[in-house]
Amino acid sequence: MNLLKFEKNYFKKKWTNRISVALVFPNYYELAMSNLGYLYVYQRLNTFSHIVCERVCLPKGNELPVSVESNRPLKDFDVILTSISFELDYPNLVKMLNLSGINPLAKERDEIVIAGGIALWLNPKPLYKFVDAFVLAEWEAIEEDFIKTLSNYFYSKELLLSKLNEYPYVWCPQLEYEKKVKVEKKYPLETPPLSYVLSEKTEFKNTYLVEVARGCGMGCRFCAAGYVYRPPRRYSKAKISEVFNTIPPGSKVGIIGFEFANKTEVISTCKKLLEKDCKLGFSSLRLDTVDPDFFELLKHTKSIAIAPETGSEKLKKVLNKDISEEKVLEVLKLLKEFGLKSVKLYFILGLPLEEKEDLEATIRFVKSLLSFKLGIKLAFSFSFLVPKPHTPFQWAKFLDVKELEEKKKFVLKGLKHDKNLRFENPKDALLQTLLIRGDEKIAELVLLLAKGIKLKRALRELNIPLKKYLSPEEDPEFEFPWDFINTWVSKEFLWKEWQRAKDLKLGIRCKPFECKACSACSQILVL
């Protein structure tokens, strides 16, 4: 399919005398075109006159992966870059290499594969056999050095990897496996990223995506992004306004990062978009940021998502997310008044310290919301906890799949009269946990999954000791596969937060440069 006919503002450059870069998104095109980070790197690479960068996404079948711009296979490119946001995409990357006739094993191929993305900040070990260099950094912080190195040494895999490995944020496992890596972040943030490549074939159809802040300081203990992006950072009102001024009148605009933005400043600048007849959308909202001043921005919005996570007062303390039922109801009523048609509410099952009474509390909470008959379509989505690296929950246990199935059945039975329920498959949560918490052994699992072998059979063939990955020792000195990565947040702080969770104590909300609790701000001070 010629996807370019559904797009606007893409790059189509000649290859002659240019370095060719394949920017791989190891999932479907529709998801790639909804990912601001991926689109931003694509745009930035193509601003360099001596580089031609083309997008390559996972094909729907077992077809040869080819670029969107010129239908070229991966083998035609000088360098393969990939951006990985989700652990379930680990096998997809290997699958794409296999489909392209490229040996997935880094040490046995000539092709250069360089990987970045937030999933790899958490734990790149399961991909160590397949990737030549992991770049654990925000693009803005490393663009100059990376482009310089790529431009000078792209013609030699040996030289390029050797030079990249000199940076503290790069891990080349075939060169220096035991290296300590420090994530590179941009401070202060300057110009907000804006995606101006538009597509009709995506969830956010023909929508400009723009980031107004990065990170979140609420400290929800399960949220990896909330920890690895610390300290949360904001763009200036002047820079946001400058970027907003480039968006054409009548456009659809997706606002990302509203959670930690200066609400007063962002609301005032967003109103300028409304004056240009732009339609604004928000991927999700934090409940305690929603107030009447904000609702004017939603006048063109039909639906929105919020995340109470649980109806249990006890588990709210475990999560460090103390939002009352009254607050949720208040927000829903306001959303109704401002014309929203539907709201999706997200919940998590399988949380630490979760008991039958906590599930009953969530059931009562959902029933209570439905009983008010607000005139809004309410949909409820239930997922299962995946204990992520670099969070307080990295010491949490992933429950047995059978136990999670029982929790699902219990909640489903309690809410049997409501049809707007969606449950994640517990086996998918198990796979996510193995991939994001894995070590070298899980690399073998990735290889089998990439070949289409089902998880159950793959686990049996490899004889993987699940307890090792699903039930870590509750010890502050326990060595995780990802401990070699410094995300700026200290392990000691995460351990203290894990103890607070078990003691049902709320944690510290992030106040950049006003405290030294997690150590992230002190990392900035030494830049």
Q: How far apart are CA 200 and CA 203, in angstroms?
A: 8
Task: Please report where in the chains the tokens 């360098």 appear, as a residue.
Answer: 79
Pair 195, 209: CB distance under 8 Å = yes
Q: Give whole-number Cα distances, 189 to 184, 212, 233, in Å.
A: 13, 10, 7
Which pLDDT does position 389 carry in this prediction?
A: 98
Q: How far apart are CA 110 and CA 112, in angstroms?
A: 7
Which pLDDT does position 198 carry in this prediction?
A: 97
Sign of CA dihedral 477, 478, 484, 489: negative
Q: Mean pLDDT lowest for which of 236-250, 325-339, 482-496?
A: 325-339
Answer yes or no: is pLDDT of 102 > 60. yes
Mean pLDDT of 426-444: 97
Q: How far apart are CA 351 and CA 358, in angstroms?
A: 10
Q: What is the pTM of this model?
A: 0.96
Task: Please report where in the chains the tokens 């490899």 appear, as a residue.
Answer: 462
Cis peptide before 231 (omega within 30 of 0): yes
- Name the band, by pLDDT with cuts 50, 70 and 90, for residue 416: confident
What 3-state class would DSSP assign to 168?
A: coil
Phi-psi region of 296 (alpha: psi -120 to 50; beta: other; left: phi over 0): alpha
Which pLDDT does position 525 carry in this prediction?
A: 61
Mean pLDDT of 36-47: 98
DSSP H helical ranges for 323-400: 325-337, 356-371
Answer yes or no: is pLDDT of 388 > 90. yes
Q: How far apart are CA 269 and CA 278, in angstroms?
A: 12
Spell out the residues 6+ positions from residue 88 whose beta carbon is closer than 8 angstroms to its own. Answer: 428, 431, 432, 435
Which pLDDT does position 267 carry in this prediction?
A: 87
Q: Mean pLDDT lowest for which of 50-54, 373-377, 421-425, 463-467?
A: 373-377
3-state helix, strand, coil in the chain (%, to 5): 40, 15, 45
Which pLDDT does position 526 carry in this prediction?
A: 57
Q: How far apart are CA 307 and CA 427, in angstroms?
A: 22
- Tell me the per-residue pLDDT of 177-221, one tens digit each, with 9 for 90 and over: 999 999 999 999 999 999 999 999 998 899 999 999 999 888 999
- Percent of the chain with pLDDT strictly greater than 90: 82
- Tell me the per-residue pLDDT of 150-173, one tens digit each, with 9 for 90 and over: 999 999 999 999 999 999 999 999
- Name the band, by pLDDT with cuts 50, 70 and 90, for residue 327: confident
* More confident site: 282 or 485: 485
| Closest alpha carbon to 368 in 342, 398, 329 | 329
Answer yes or no: is pLDDT of 39 > 90. yes
Which pLDDT does position 263 carry in this prediction?
A: 79
Answer yes or no: is pLDDT of 270 > 60. yes
Which pLDDT does position 375 carry in this prediction?
A: 85
Q: How far apart are CA 283 and CA 447, in angstroms?
A: 33
- Tell me the per-residue pLDDT of 83-97, one tens digit each, with 9 for 90 and over: 999 999 999 999 999
Q: How far apart are CA 196 and CA 38, in angstroms?
A: 12
Answer yes or no: is pLDDT of 527 > 60. no
- Name the band, by pLDDT with cuts 50, 70 and 90, for residue 285: confident
- Name the band, by pLDDT with cuts 50, 70 and 90, for residue 111: very high
Answer yes or no: is pLDDT of 296 > 90. no
